[in-house]
Structure 1
């Protein structure tokens, strides 16, 4: 078994210099990108933006209580109303800004037809926010 001596005379062909070509290529690309984008950044359009305040606005919608009794009587905020008067009150309430919420409560023994008629009249009158009021069993 022969051992070869390590010699420093051989040059492996390694370069000790930094290759500048890729660095120059990257710098030229960045220069071109900046030359293209800087004129676009200087061109501005003056827009007057709205100013916001830190104060909260209290725009909670009003609530209207409509209930239906077991015999089909419709109550508007506790007062009995007929079908024509109900449509008039709904149309008048829908003109408010913001439109009020309709809280609809019905007796357990009330016919579904009367509930559907009130809902239909509310939707036709312009009230789109309808909430159902229920009472838990005792």
Structure 2
């Protein structure tokens, strides 16, 4: 019996490399299958849809500037109003279609109670889109 010496430099030893040929063959076959089946999957019925136009234009809502100064005075678009006048104007504005957006600016020294009353009145009257304006340093 002949035993081979592992230190011999012959070609009968183990190969540590992977044979890539079968892998490439399988991948090419899959690529061909996908190329052939893709047009079948993408098949759709071509139709011409009717055209319609809307007579209602998308109106941009009005923007109302509400300010509260350090003396707790309320301003509606730079015009001084009382809380009851604010309530009446808010109710009138809320009836517009689309309802306006309110941009609220309050001095940092104003009492929170005044801001809360303005917010509460706005919500009661139907003005629900309210944004707070602040300064960024």
Structures share fold, TM-score greater than 0.5 = yes
For residues 122 and 87 of structure 2, the distance between their equivalents in structure 1, rounded to whole angstroms, comes to 8
Matched residue, 2:9: none
Matched residue, 2:116: 116
Stretch of structure 1 that moved more, 98-107 or 52-61: 52-61
For residues 52 and 70 of structure 2, the distance between their equivalents in structure 1, rounded to whole angstroms, comes to 50
CA apart distance, 1:52: 3.8
Q: Which runs of 5+ in 1 are unaligned?
A: 1-49
Q: Which runs of 5+ in 2 are unaligned?
A: 1-49
Aligned 1:2-41 pairs, distance under 5 A: none
Deviations 1:76-95 (A, max 9, x none): 00011001101000000001
CA apart distance, 1:53: 2.7
Once superposed, what is the RMSD of the aligned Cα atoms? Answer: 2.2
- TM superposition score normalised by structure 1: 0.59
| Secondary structure of 2:86 counterpart | helix
- TM superposition score normalised by structure 2: 0.59
Matched residue, 1:78: 78
| Secondary structure of 1:115 counterpart | helix
Matched residue, 1:61: 61
For residues 54 and 119 of structure 1, the distance between their equivalents in structure 2, rounded to whole angstroms, comes to 36
Aligned residues: 88
Deviations 1:20-77 (A, max 9, x none): xxxxxxxxxxxxxxxxxxxxxxxxxxxxxx9643899342100000010011000000
For residues 128 and 74 of structure 1, the distance between their equivalents in structure 2, rounded to whole angstroms, comes to 18
| Secondary structure of 1:103 counterpart | strand
| Secondary structure of 1:89 counterpart | helix
Of structures 1 and 2, the larger Rg is shown by: 1
